[in-house]
Chains A and B, each alone.
Chain A
Amino acid sequence: MTTIYKASAAPPAPRRTRHAIFRLSIVFLVLGLLAYSWYGTETSLGRLVDSGPRMAAFLDRMFPPDLTWNSVEPRPFAPPLRLAGQAVIITLQISILGTALGMVAALGLGFLASENLTPHWVHHPIKVFLALLRSIPVILLALLFVMAVGFGALPGVLALAIHSIGMLGKLFGEECEGVETGVWEAMDSAGANWFQKVRYAIWPQVAAQIYSLTLFRLEMNLRDSAVLGLVGVAGLGLWIENYRRAFDYPSVATLVIVTMLVVLVVDQVSFHIRRRLR
């Protein structure tokens, strides 16, 4: 039934901003917060300018990056390029395994966390649980796992997996909440159980997006895993930290460049795959 609305003589007046004072106070609040943080962190232009020479000296010490293969003088560690291959591989392995473990667990939890697929006494606690997992920064998780299981790759895998569960579980759940549910009922009407309904009514609708989100998580996990070396997880980060402690700044520079290259390559590959998935 279509109703025909007659145009009134004049267009309605724009909505009056009744809350001008409210808006203004928000602006002041934000400005105040900025100022508070500025002074709290002792950020000052003077100090930034003063540390200019120090930064220059630091960069100078890093330059040129150490690209030697055979070094003649004795040094605590082998030349960075010799280690780089191994380090890149272990970093990639940590992030791939961490992401995969996280994805598998997040799949199950994601479906359970979806408001349209489970009763509230299921999805509520699971949402809280996922939020808890997310609330611990990766580096803290890695620190805890290093203490729990020792140095090496394993604490990195576990840290990334736990964090990925929290992030992916939430995203998967939200993805499922956006699907068309008629087909869910149709499957139910055919006598399908919960798992079958998820498999045939939900999964086809969300699979592409889930793969895409997982790849995106892989990119982020790769960057994170490079940092985890600081707390003793094997990989690129660990070697950067080792060279730094030995004051071998040119080698640090080399590995930073290697890290950037690896991340860029993985980003590009993932980007192209994800574009295909859409």
Chain B
Amino acid sequence: MIRIEYLEVRYGRKPPALSIERIEIGRGERVAVIGPSGAGKSTLLRTLKGYVRLSQGKAEVMGVNLATAPRRQRRRIHRRIALIYQQFHLARRLSVLQNVLCGRLGLTSRWRSLLGVFTKEDRRVAWSAICEVGLQDQVHQRADTLSGGEQQRVAVARALAQQPEIVLADEPVSSLDPAWAEDVLELIAEVQAHHHVTLLMSLHQPHLARRFAERIIGLRDGRVVFDGPPAGLTEDRLEEIYRGDEIRRLNGATRPRSGKSRSA
């Protein structure tokens, strides 16, 4: 599904933000990416989504090499990859249903959607996604009236409406309080298993990664320093990933982080 070989991503002349020798992720895997701030977690996800240009090497997603494939091919896989954000990025003045329908924009009739018209199929998919995240009762409520956890549920439903093969979640629970965070991660894991999609999520807290992922990739300074099942993530390995300043987080200490927002 995802295959990275000797990938390097650089911004300017600084040392590479990402320098990965090899990662291979199969269909239906549930992977967490952990590492300290600035380790390249977001960059990795955004590279796979096609938002970051590769400086060197190869990143193959669904059989399409992002470095060399023509635009049309990249476009085609683009809509099969859903992205979930730390800050949800919902259209705040639109209802839950409208937001979820937005996930259909790449699949439905372009011009009719501009008039706000969606097909029966679109509405069926959107509704089943809403049911899956359990927001049936708030379906016509405006997105900005929901709590943070509920908003992230809407975002998950929007991602589902896209009928993706790969779901990338960029710190999906970092702006939620711990109870909601577990709740949302549980939902994401459930949905992932049910639809058998490939899930790659960056997480800030190792204990959450241990609990909700089947495989953990540890990044540090843009390099893979750990890749294996949660059981293999010993304290020593964690120490190696985080080292020093971030040790406090190992015990599961959670702390709201200010959002990193980057526009495409």
Contact = CB atoms under 8 A, between A and B. Distances in A.
Interface centre among A116, A183, A195, A196 (most CB of B within 10 A): A183
Nearest to B105: A192
Given A196-B113, A196-B114, A204-B93, A181 B106 contact: no
A191 B98 CA distance: 16
A184 interface: yes
B210 interface: no
B91 A200 contact: yes
B79 interface: yes
A196 B91 contact: no
DSSP majority for the A interface?
Answer: helix
Given A191-B105, A192-B106, A185 B91 contact: no
B93 A200 contact: no
A242 B1 CA distance: 79
Contact of A185 (B82, B90, B92, B264): B264
Contacts of B215: none
Contacts, number: 76
Interface residues of A, number: 21
B27 interface: no
B51 to A, nearest CB: 8
Interface in A164-183: 181-183
Nearest to A116: B263
A186 interface: yes
B85 A186 contact: yes
Contact of B79 (A185, A186, A191, A204): A191
A205 interface: yes
A183 B89 contact: yes
A183 B89 CA distance: 4
A184 B264 contact: yes
A85 B256 CA distance: 65
A183 B155 CA distance: 11
A190 interface: yes
Contacts of B104: 190
A199 interface: yes
Contact of A188 (B98, B113, B161, B264): B264
A181 B51 CA distance: 15
17 contacts: A116-B263, A182-B89, A182-B261, A182-B263, A184-B263, A185-B83, A186-B89, A186-B155, A186-B158, A189-B82, A190-B104, A191-B106, A193-B105, A196-B105, A200-B98, A204-B93, A204-B94
Interface of B: 49, 51, 75, 78-79, 81-83, 85, 87, 89-94, 98, 102-107, 110, 113-114, 155, 158, 161-162, 261, 263-264
Given A184-B263, A190-B79, A191-B75, 12 more contacts: A116-B263, A182-B87, A182-B263, A183-B91, A184-B264, A185-B51, A186-B90, A188-B264, A190-B103, A190-B106, A191-B79, A192-B105
